[in-house]
Amino acid sequence: MMRSLRIAAVGAFVALAVAACSSKDDSSDTLSNNPPAATTTTDSAATTPPASSDSGGGGTAASTGTITIQNFQFGQPLTVKPGATITVTNKDSAPHDVVADDNGGFKTDTLDQNQSATFTAPTKAGTYKFSCSLHANMTGTGTLVVEG
C-alpha cells in the first residue's frame, strides 16, 4: 500500500512539473537582440493578479506592465508601449525567471517566491514570446506585445 502511495505522489509531482511555466499561447514571432538589465526586489505583500497589465484593454498600450507568475503560468498576453517598464513577480513557491525566446531579448534574474524584478520592453513593435529557463522541459510560453 505504501509503495502505491509513493508511486501516486511521484506521478502527481511529475504532472505538476510538466505543467510548470505554461500558458495557453504557443505561437512565435520576432525578438529584440538587446537584452536590458533586470533588477530584483523582494515583495512579500504583493497582491498583483496573474498576467495583468496597465494597458486597460481595448488595444491601448501602456508605459508600464506587470507579469505575475502564479500556479506555474504567465497568464494572458501583456500589451505595452516600446521601452515600457515591465515588473515580474513570482507568486509560486518554486523559483522562476522570465527569458525572451529566440536571441534573449530580455531576461530577469531567478526569482524566489514573492520576489520581483523589472526589465525594459523592446523598443521595436512586435510580439515577443518568453518562458522560464529553469523549466526548459516545459512547452508553455508567455506573450509580450509591444505596440508603437
Q: At 80, phi and psi to the nearest 5?
A: -140, 170
Classify 81 as helix, strand or coil. strand
Contact 104, 122 (CB under 8 A): no
What domains can be seen in the chain, in order of their start residue? Answer: 2-146 (2.60.40.420)
Distances (CA, A) of 125 to 2, 29, 148: 55, 11, 6
* β-bridge mates for residue 64, sequence order: 85
pLDDT band with cut points at 50, 70 and 90 for residue 91: very high
pLDDT in tens, 5-54: 455 544 444 444 444 444 444 433 333 344 444 444 444 333 334 444 34
pLDDT band with cut points at 50, 70 and 90 for residue 60: confident
pLDDT of residue 148: 83
